[in-house]
Structure 1
Amino acid sequence: MDFADTDRAPAAARAPASSGRGTLALYATFGCLGYLLTALGAVLPELREERGLPRAEAALYPSAFALGLVVVGLVGHRLAVWLGRYALPAALTALVGGAALLATGGGRLGTAAGALVLGLGGAGLVQLVPAALRAAHQGDGTIQIGQANAVSSAASVLSPIIIGVTLAHDLGWRAAFAIPPALLAVITLLSLTRTPAPSTTPTTPDTPATPAPPRGFWARWVDLVLAVGVEFCMVFWAADFLRSVKESGAGTATTLSAAFVLGMAVGRAAAGPAVRFGGRPDRLLAFAALVGIAGFAILWTSPAPVAVAGLLVTGLGVALLYPVILGQALAAWPSQPVRAAARCALASGVAIGVAPLVLGTLADLTTLRAAVFVAPALLAVLLVRCGWRLRAASWLSPSR
């Protein structure tokens, strides 16, 4: 999932400043988010083993994160206006505070509460940071938003590596999970709180009567649920799969699970040229889904060293799905960009909350080796939907 400028969030997010320091601070917030998002998946096997949890219950922690995304998608706009210049610092504080609570909270309830608070903070950053970058750069922060996502991708690759190294040296996972983003957040908060107070006027006023979303938007909404579901099944369960099915050591499995997010980072770095030269969006999506399925086949059938290459290839394919589908969804409802973006955020929340939980539940009922087929099954459904649309378009083509 890319943290793109999808929602023209409230001007309460307007920030920093056009100063370089303010922009770097915003980049750092996305770095914290990217780090913790993949770190949550990296520590799931450890949480499960420490507390003797079934996989279905461990999957509730990602679901708590997703609940935060849904809550902010529903009420975040109003909350950001109310908090004004403190909206960004509050979201970042919630993010790292939730991480600390997850790492240190006693018992299952404390851990789940930490995941929920982490999700609330992370969703707030997804809503606020792109708008803040646009405001800081006179309404056109496209380059800066891309750079912020690059920072997030780099951090998402680092977290499983760092956690894996600490596990391999019997240092536990808690310090590696919580301390790096907390230190970065402290430095960032010092910069954010010194910036001028932003405006709290929403950029897009609510309208009393809003037309229903067009049918084409809902078709892309379903595609978005499928794509994000695949992505987070892999993010949250790759380390456990390498550890339990491929029989890698705890530290090694966690470190090597970074191959998926590395593939995602590389794939999204090439997203621009791929979109320009890929032809019809559905053709590009179908190709990306096929690459993801091929990568999964390598992952599932190969021994541990080669399976990691399968994770990398899967990440390369899945990387293109979210940005392409999101662009098509927003284009399908151009008259209501804010509401369209909010519905897309809810799609992400539904996918993150449901798909990893279904995978974990199936793993308890069968085996993890069988349950991971949830991911390629979602890709196959997306592939069929793209094929159907391409076929329909060819039948409607004037050349026929």
Structure 2
Amino acid sequence: MSETAVLRRTSSTFGLYLAFGCLGYLLTALGAILPELRAERGLPRAEAALYPSAFALGLVVVGLVGHRLAERLGRLALPAALAALAGGAGIIAAGGGRVGTGIGALVLGLGGAGLVQLVPAGLRALHGGDGAVPIGEANAVASTASVLSPLLIGAALAAGLGWRFAFAVPPLALAAILLLTRRAVVPVTPADVPPDAGSRAPRAFVSRWSDLVLAVGVEFCMVFWAADFLRSVKGLGSGAATTLSAAFVLGMAVGRIASGPLVRAAGGADRLVVAATAVGVAGFAVLWAAPASAAVAGLLVTGLGVALLYPVILARALAAWPAQPVRAAARCALASGVAIGLAPLALGTLADLTTLRAAVFVAPALLLILLVRCGWRLRAHPAA
């Protein structure tokens, strides 16, 4: 039976989708406010990039020990993660200087990591199969929500209202609704697998894990630095740069909305990743070389290409370690943490040493490495 035949979206499915939407909103919002934090506090780019790195540290912590916490908390695991995500956003919006913002980013990262770990695993448990379609749909919801944050923050800046209200209130309100209605739950999978079974990650999982680091690194280089690039390199004003940086996440939202039909039509995960990566590289070329108006279109095309990388690779990674689904999900959260902690920080540090125009080549370099890896895999295993 095909995955589409058994996919029945329930209230639990939609609750998981909306929880991922909170995460998508706040991740893009964190990138959208980086130029404002830099301007408020006179920070160099490398220091501003430490806030995403603090978020990534939360992902790393959960990636290492989150599977044990999830097993102990059971059905309370996802509500706890969602509460931490909302709490971190509140701490950032409340201010508190550099340290307070760093603590808020860390708490937000802990909550976000919990969602990254639990939501895909929960969708696989609910719907069976490798979960590519529901995971793609969850990421489509997250991407759609992520389009809103730069638009709302840009509008607030243009109106002279500041960024804090638009940053924190929408995800806090949605998180409160999900918690109060008890929609933030994941199914508890019976512990029918011995603790020692499949405790060592299969080679196929390790390979997909490496792909995941590359894909997430590209995504968050663009999420965290697109607004600054449009402002500093393309010459747009603060509000316009923040608002138009939504072109990237808009492209991602469109791409992920179409993920179901594309996954089914592609004839293989690696074929789809190769095609998506090529689109991302083409979009980046337009972004880098074109004037501001066309550069925004390039940003949109880059988002279209990058959109499918995370959900497709994540689904294949989880399917490669079926004996340990919770541990596999935690290790995938670790991959996200490593990528978010290193790639945007490397880009910001390189921008301080050279220029942002040169430093953004970190993103296409990661795409090209991913393209080579998947091309080699297809050459070695044509039926993959």
Q: TM-score range by the shorter chain?
A: 0.7 to 0.9
TM-score, normalised on structure 2? 0.88
Q: For 1:139 and 1:329, how far apart are their aligned partners in 2? A: 15
Displacement of 1:69 in angstroms is: 1.4
Is the alpha carbon distance of 1:334 and 1:34 closer, same or farther for their aligned partners in structure 2, counting shifts above 3 Å? same
Residue 313 of structure 1 corresponds to: 301
Residue 222 of structure 1 corresponds to: 210
Is the alpha carbon distance of 1:324 and 1:185 closer, same or farther for their aligned partners in structure 2, counting shifts above 3 Å? closer
Is the alpha carbon distance of 1:39 and 1:76 closer, same or farther for their aligned partners in structure 2, counting shifts above 3 Å? same
Q: For 2:339 and 2:186, how far apart are their aligned partners in 1? A: 33
Displacement of 1:382 in angstroms is: 1.3
Cα pair 1:225 1:347 within 8 Å, conserved = yes
Displacement of 1:48 in angstroms is: 1.1
Quote the RMSD (CA, aligned, Å): 2.9
Q: For 2:109 and 2:353, how far apart are their aligned partners in 1? A: 28
Q: For 2:238 and 2:21, how far apart are their aligned partners in 1? A: 25
Residue 36 of structure 1 corresponds to: 26
Give runs of aligned pairs for residues 100-119 of structure 1, distance below 5 A: 100-119=90-109
Q: For 2:187 and 2:285, how far apart are their aligned partners in 1? A: 51
Give runs of aligned pairs for residues 1-400 of structure 1, distance below 5 A: 20=11, 25-130=15-120, 147-192=137-182, 203=191, 205=193, 207-208=195-196, 210=198, 212-393=200-381
Cα pair 1:25 1:191 within 8 Å, conserved = no
Q: For 1:184 and 1:353, how far apart are their aligned partners in 2? A: 27
Displacement of 1:41 in angstroms is: 0.6
Cα pair 2:26 2:146 within 8 Å, conserved = yes
Cα pair 2:158 2:239 within 8 Å, conserved = yes
Question: What do the CA deviations read for 1:100-134 (whole angstroms, capped 9, x no partner)?
Answer: 11122312111000000011111222333455567
Counterpart of 2:181 in 1: which secondary structure? helix
Cα pair 1:242 1:304 within 8 Å, conserved = yes
Displacement of 1:191 in angstroms is: 1.2
Cα pair 1:59 1:357 within 8 Å, conserved = yes
Displacement of 1:281 in angstroms is: 3.1
Q: For 1:138 and 1:381, how far apart are their aligned partners in 2? A: 33
TM-score, normalised on structure 1? 0.84
Seq. identity, %? 73
Is the alpha carbon distance of 1:227 and 1:283 closer, same or farther for their aligned partners in structure 2, counting shifts above 3 Å? same
Structure 2, gaps ≥5 residues long: 1-8
Q: For 2:275 and 2:135, how far apart are their aligned partners in 1? A: 26
AA aligned opposite 2:52? P
Q: For 2:87 and 2:357, how far apart are their aligned partners in 1? A: 34
AA aligned opposite 2:273? L
AA aligned opposite 2:142? S
AA aligned opposite 1:183? A
Is the alpha carbon distance of 1:227 and 1:204 closer, same or farther for their aligned partners in structure 2, counting shifts above 3 Å? farther
Residue 5 of structure 2 corresponds to: none
Q: For 2:79 and 2:200, how far apart are their aligned partners in 1? A: 35
Displacement of 1:157 in angstroms is: 0.7
